[in-house]
Structure formats: C-alpha cells, structure tokens
Amino acid sequence: MSRPALDELLGRHSVGPRHLVEPAPDDAQLALMVEAALRAPDHAGLRPWRFAVVRGPARTRLAELFVTAARRAGKDEAGVQLDHERALRAPLTLAVIARIDAGHPEVPAHEQWTAVGGALANFMNAVHLLGFGGKMLSGNKARDPGLVAAFCEPGETLLGWIALGTPARAGAPRQRYSEGALRDWGSDQA
C-alpha cells in the first residue's frame, strides 16, 4: 500500500532559523498554509487565532523590539546583540496570536486552545509539504509587554513566532512511535 501523504507528514521536523535561507514562502504559498490551518477542528468556527506577517522593513522593527525586550529582561550587550540577530535570521517570520473568549457560552476556553494548537500543527505541516522549513519559537519574549503591545489587540495572547524559509540542509530524522504515547484505557480498570 502506498501512503505518500502520510510518509511526508511523518518526515516533518522543525528547522531552526539559522538553517533557513531564501526564498521564503510567497503570498500564495502563505495563503495555502493558512487554508490548511483553517481545516483544524474548531468548535463553532471561532478561529481563535491569527498570524501577523513580519517581512521587509518590519523585520528591522522586530529586531528593535527584541533589543528593547532583551534590555528590559536584563540581558548583557552580548545577549542583546544575539536577540537582535535572532529577529533577522529567518527570511520570514509570523507572529502567532491567540484570541480566546473565556466567557463563550458554547465553547469553553480549553476547546479554543485546542483549536489554536490544531491550526498551528496544520500550518506547520503545510509548511513542510510545500517544501519549506520552519520552527515555532516562544519563551520569555512572547510575554514581554512591549512585544505583546506591538502584536496584540486587547484580550489577545502572543504565543510566539514561526520562523520560515527554505531549509539549507536536510533535517534530522524524528523519533518514531514511542511506547506510552498510545495506551488502552479501561482494560486495567476494576
């Protein structure tokens, strides 16, 4: 039995910004990636997420925001410079933003967060299937008030950034099925 699509998905792996080169996905390819994200399960079709594209001169603005955040976090000048470089490494960056309605009468917050995760997974799978590489990056910068204010509207959460581009080298194979990842429930219950 041939299963090329599944084999492609099983070959997906993250590619860090230092291993990404031009070209980045163009607008049509980004639209396909977003279409894939929209296919994730999403109770009531809330689409509790959005992406903000950072390219061109906006990359320099992102680097400035990373520098300010690094200084606010108390990093030394070497750390500040490293964060500046990190903002500029990927050919294209997307901010990942969640919009969770904690008071929604039909869809609890945990289901909305699941929809965000599903959209992100589908987006990253589309990145891979279109021949690009990428990696989701988060950490303390995603909680920096200046970065949050730059990317988020009231009630939104900055989850981090997706670095995108063309992989400069082949990726390392990922771990296959792991014991404990799939278990029968109920057979050991009294």
Per-residue model confidence as pLDDT tens digits over 77-94:
999 999 999 999 999 999
Distance CA 83, CA 92 (A): 16
User: How far lies 23's CA from each of 55, 120, 164, 167, in Å?
Assistant: 12, 21, 9, 10
Whether the CB-CB separation of 42 and 114 falls below 8 Å is answered with: no
Domain assignment present for 174? no
Average pLDDT, the chain: 93
Whether the CB-CB separation of 26 and 139 falls below 8 Å is answered with: no
- Lowest model confidence (mean pLDDT) among 41-45, 115-119, 164-168, 185-189: 185-189
Domain assignment present for 67? yes
Distance CA 122, CA 59 (A): 25
The pTM is what? 0.91
Here the tokens at position 38 are: 């929209």
Q: Residue 151 belongs to a domain with what CATH number?
A: 3.40.109.10
Nearest to 18 by CA among 134, 138, 127, 126: 134
Strand partners, 164: 92, 134
Q: What is the residue range of 79's domain?
A: 15-167
In the predicted structure, residue 178 carries a pLDDT above the cut 80: no
**Number of domains within the chain:** 1
Here the tokens at position 80 are: 């500040």
Domain assignment present for 69? yes
Domain assignment present for 181? no
Mean pLDDT over residues 8-32, rounded? 94
Domain assignment present for 95? yes
Mean pLDDT over residues 63-72, rounded? 97
In the predicted structure, residue 1 carries a pLDDT above the cut 70: no
Domain assignment present for 172? no
Here the tokens at position 148 are: 């949050």
Domain assignment present for 7? no
Domain assignment present for 45? yes
